[in-house]
Amino acid sequence: MLLDVKDMSLSLKREGKYIRILDQISFHVNEGETIGIVGESGCGKSMTALSLMRLLPDKARLEGKVVLQGDEITSFSKRKLEKVRGNQMSMIFQNPLTSLNPLQTVGIQIEESIILHTKMGKQQRRKRVLQLLNEVGLPRSEELIDDYPHQLSGGMRQRIMIAMAMACEPQLLICDEPTTALDVTVQAQILELMNEIKKETQMGIIMITHDMGVIAEVCDRVIVMYAGKIVEEAPVIELFLNPKHPYTLGLLDSIPKMGIRKQKLGSIPGTVPSPEKMPTGCRFVDRCSHAMDQCRNTLPEMIEINENHYTACWLYDEEVNKSGSIGSQKPETAFHY
Amino acid sequence: MDVLKFVAKRLLLMIPILIGISMLTFAISNTIPGDPARLILGPKATPEGLESLREKMGLNDPLYIQYGRYMVGITHGDLGESTYSQGPVSSDLIRYSPATFELTLFAMMITLLIGIPFGIISASKKDRMADHFTRLFSLLGVAMPAFWLGLLFLLLFYLKLGILPGSGRLDSGMSPPHHITGMYTIDALLTGNWTVLLSASMHLILPGITLAAVTIGMITRMTRSSMLEVLQSDYVRTAHAKGASENRVLYGHALRNGVMPVITLLGMAFGHALGGSVLVESVFSWPGLGKYAVNAITYLDFPAVMGVTLLIAVMFILVNLIVDTLYFFIDPRLKHN
């Protein structure tokens, strides 16, 4: 196992008190596997990524365990963690323009990762940067190396970000909405590049997105997050064919499907509850059309539905099902391929 | 080439600005009640004597004729005769300005050496002791009137402790170094005259710090807020994600971006210091333009007042032009656009 996250919780200080943003997140990533984390804005996807990298604001409290290749990095000192970041574990961000230093050439910025984590000489480093630029599909790398970020297009900038993250051949790559800020055509190119990189390396990837299309394109396994908790986890095909949690169903229902004429796209009523006013039971209860009394009072545990398919919903609890009260309420599967 | 075009445009713009300033100063100094002729001839002057002197000085002509005559003179490098020093204003300016430039440059040097590091410390240690201390310090600097601070310094370091000289540019009995720039410290350094250099430097300390107090406060506060903004930016997060240490992020990525707005303010601070020299020079009997201007005003010596005002205006505009031109070399985004 490449990465094992156990009961990770994150609290941020707001107006004097700690507010829990992430609540006991547990998941794992295997070598060579791409995990998708999906959910609406504000559900804690990006915070999960930043917690793994520990790129958190000063007043943040992180609990639980994060084990990367056998090392419990949650216990690492700042200095020790700097050796892991950009080396074993890299990250790509959403907005490639603001994520690059405007006053440094892209060459220098890619080279910095190499300087920080290897003992390569100047000539070697330059060679490596040129090689990386070629690997991420940027032509005329000899000229590009001395360009500034503002001289490049959005897609090129994101390729630079990828080159920067790949510089030290990390074992784990975290991508936080890498295609969201890009044109649709460029998005496809970047995803294609991600798939190529995936094939060539044995790197584990965490792909954070709100776009089910991106999930379908690159992921092996998917984690659905809602309001700081994981509500469903399944292999990608299983999730699309057999979604269980009403929230996942809602997400899938809200994307247009090729070849199916439908009057109206589905939407989920309401918004994500704010961390200060989290319901005591299931966090989706106020927006769920299948909500029961039980949902309101008690938080559902993750239960195994199929092999590797888990969800946290009372609808699938054996006890609840035995009582027979809701047998007919089970949601219809959204997809029929 | 863009740089040259920019500089040429700005130099051309200087002309209308200076005409505006000259008109304003001319109008204001001529509406001040009082008769220069009477001041020159003293209380026992006869009406005939007064009348003939007024006629000789051109004071009986309408204001626009007087102004026109003055402006024609300027184009020939003639700034008029000073009634106070009984010589041409231009040679007075040449005589008194080096002292003021020396003081102002010294103040700007202290401002840079203290203001920027203080701002950086304040931002990187936000809400901690070091931050509170520098914020209090800079607030005091901005809030305290220069003449009052000057008097306090005189009381403490000159009268009470007796460790620093309180007036003039050199110890009494010491002759100034060979005239090269007119700035004693620089001339002494160039001619290797160490005793004069020491004396001149000691004399600079109190007026220099008094003059710099405000600008240090300004620069510290600006550096702090600008650095705080930069430290929140995406590219700083990227640098952390690459595994760069706190110091590397601070000095390698944040600093250069953070000082950008500070540079503009430096130009403004320079102008502030030039203007502030009028008060500070009076407090410390510093024989510069400020002291010359104060004397000129009390003697209703309009050509001298005009001369000093225009010289300071030209200096201010030139310094700001230099500062703005600096951006072409610091910010690659300007070079390529």
Q: What tens digit of pLDDT does each residue of A186-206 get? A: 888 888 888 888 888 889 999
Long-range contacts, stretch A151-154, CB < 8 angstroms, 24+ apart: A151/B336, A152/A106, A153/A186, A154/A96, A154/A97, A154/A181, A154/A182, A154/A183, A154/A186
| Mean confidence (pLDDT) of chain A | 88
**Which tens digit of pLDDT belongs to each residue from B156-189?**
998 899 888 888 888 888 888 888 888 988 898 8
Burial-class residue A257 by CB neighbours within 10 Å (0-12, 13-18, 19+).
middle
Closest chain B residue to A84 measured between Cα atoms?
Answer: B243
Min Cα distance B239 → chain A (Å) is 9
ipTM of the complex: 0.88
Residue B2 lies inside a defined structural domain of this protein: no
Whole-angstrom distance between the N-terminal and C-terminal Cα of chain A? 32
Residue B9 lies inside a defined structural domain of this protein: no
Question: What is the model's pLDDT at position B336?
Answer: 66
Q: Residue type for A95, please?
A: N
Question: What is the model's pLDDT at position B297?
Answer: 86
Least-confidence region, from A255-264, B141-150, B205-214: A255-264
Residue B34 lies inside a defined structural domain of this protein: no
Tell which of A99, A106, A175 to mutate to test the B interface (max B CBs under 10 Å): A99
CA distance linking residue A210 with residue A41, whole number of Å:
7
Local confidence band at B78 (pLDDT 50, 70, 90 cut-offs):
confident
Closest chain A residue to B259 measured between Cα atoms?
Answer: A103
Residue B166 lies inside a defined structural domain of this protein: yes
Task: For residue B119, give the nearest of B261, B8, B237, B17 by alpha carbon.
Answer: B261
Question: What is the model's pLDDT at position A322?
Answer: 67
Residue A35 three-state SS: strand
Local confidence band at B31 (pLDDT 50, 70, 90 cut-offs):
confident
Tell me the whole-structure pTM to 2 decimals.
0.83
CA distance linking residue B201 with residue A295, whole number of Å:
79
Beta carbons of B243 and A161 less than 8 Å apart: no
Residue B282 lies inside a defined structural domain of this protein: yes
Question: What is the model's pLDDT at position A331?
Answer: 61
Token digits of residue A204: 């584990």
Question: What is the model's pLDDT at position B28?
Answer: 85
Local confidence band at A72 (pLDDT 50, 70, 90 cut-offs):
very high
Query: What is residue A315's DSSP assignment?
Result: G
**Which tens digit of pLDDT belongs to each residue from A115-155?**
999 999 999 999 999 999 998 988 888 999 999 999 999 99
Beta carbons of A100 and B238 less than 8 Å apart: yes
**Which tens digit of pLDDT belongs to each residue from A283-334?**
898 888 888 888 888 888 888 988 899 999 988 887 777 665 544 455 655 5
Q: Taking residues A226-233, what's their average pLDDT? A: 93
Report the 3 state secondary structure along A63-98. EEEEEECCEEHHHCCHHHHHHHECCCEEEECCCCCC
Q: Domain range for residue B252?
A: 96-288+313-336
- CATH number for the domain including B180? 1.10.3720.10
Q: Taking residues A256-278, what's their average pLDDT? A: 78
**Which tens digit of pLDDT belongs to each residue from B208-217?**
999 999 999 9
Question: What is the model's pLDDT at position A323?
Answer: 63
Q: Taking residues B18-36, what's their average pLDDT? A: 85
Could you count the other beta carbons within 10 Å of the beta carbon of residue B179? Answer: 11
Local confidence band at B55 (pLDDT 50, 70, 90 cut-offs):
confident
Question: What is the model's pLDDT at position A327?
Answer: 45
**In the predicted structure, residue A11 carries a pLDDT above the cut 90:** yes
**In the predicted structure, residue A183 carries a pLDDT above the cut 70:** yes
Min Cα distance B115 → chain A (Å) is 23
CA distance linking residue A125 with residue A135, whole number of Å:
15
Beta carbons of A116 and B244 less than 8 Å apart: yes
**In the predicted structure, residue B337 carries a pLDDT above the cut 60:** no
Count of domains for chain B: 1
Is B191 in the A-facing interface, judged by CB distances under 8 Å? no
Question: What is the model's pLDDT at position A182?
Answer: 84
Tell which of B236, B238, B255, B257 to mutate to test the A interface (max A CBs under 10 Å): B238
Q: How many CB pairs below 8 A link A and B?
A: 76
Q: Taking residues A2-28, what's their average pLDDT? A: 91
Residue B160 lies inside a defined structural domain of this protein: yes
Local confidence band at A174 (pLDDT 50, 70, 90 cut-offs):
very high
Residue B67 lies inside a defined structural domain of this protein: no
Given the DSSP bridges, would you call strands A34-38 and A221-226 parallel, antiparallel or unpaired?
Answer: parallel
3-state percent breakdown (helix, strand, coil) of chain A, nearest 5: 35, 25, 40
Percent of chain B exceeding pLDDT 90 equals 48
Residue B238 lies inside a defined structural domain of this protein: yes
Q: Where is pLDDT greater, at A264 or B18?
A: B18
Q: Calculate the CA dihedral of residues A183, A184, A186, A187 and round it to 10 degrees.
A: 110
Question: What is the model's pLDDT at position A336?
Answer: 46
Residue A303 three-state SS: strand
**Which tens digit of pLDDT belongs to each residue from B271-325?**
889 888 888 999 999 999 999 999 888 888 888 988 999 999 999 999 989 998 8
Question: What is the model's pLDDT at position A328?
Answer: 46
Q: Taking residues B222-228, what's their average pLDDT? A: 96
B/e letters for A104-127, b = 16+ CB within 10 Å, e = fewer, are bbbbbbbbbbbbbbeeeeeeebbe
Chain A residues with CB inside 8 Å of B131's CB? none
* Domains, chain A, with CATH or none: 3-219 (3.40.50.300), 229-258+265-329 (no CATH)
